[in-house]
Homo-oligomer: A and B are copies of this chain.
């Protein structure tokens, strides 16, 4: 539970320093503690949140929705169901996203296969 410096938090989370500050500024990251000199100290719990944000961002969740989730979590245990539903709906969108990505990847592979064949008669690129 020793704190982490901003640069350490950046390294561990994969977010830039500016992004960490930005996340705090918009209220996504809440209550990050400070040294007496005013410098941020990230706890393991903060890093846990950052890990979640990393997951949600990588799967395409808009920041506004992550803010909503974080806010719910701050409101306490009685919002657990709503948070769960939020994540569930997101997971469903991710599934669609994965399906689309796979379909288009297959198209792309087909296209490449045309090029691998004899070099004649390829249309539309």
Binding site for B on A (CB under 8 A): 45, 48-49, 51-52, 54-56, 58-59, 69-70, 73, 77, 80-81, 83-84, 87-88, 90-91, 94-95, 97-98, 100-102, 104-105, 107-109, 111-112, 115-116, 119, 122-125
Contact = CB atoms under 8 A, between A and B. Distances in A.
A105 B112 contact: no
A105 B77 contact: no
A123 B55 contact: no
Contacts of A109: 91
For the complex, would chain A's binding face be called helix, strand, loop or mixed by DSSP majority? helix
A107 B58 CA distance: 11
B48 A123 contact: yes
Contact of A58 (B77, B101, B122): B101
Contacts of A111: 52, 55, 87
B49 A124 contact: yes
A124 B98 CA distance: 26
Residue of A69, A77, A81, A105 with highest tally of chain B CB at under 10 A = A105
Which 5 A-B residue pairings sit nearest by Cβ, starting from the closest?
A: A48-B124, A84-B115, A58-B104, A73-B125, A55-B104
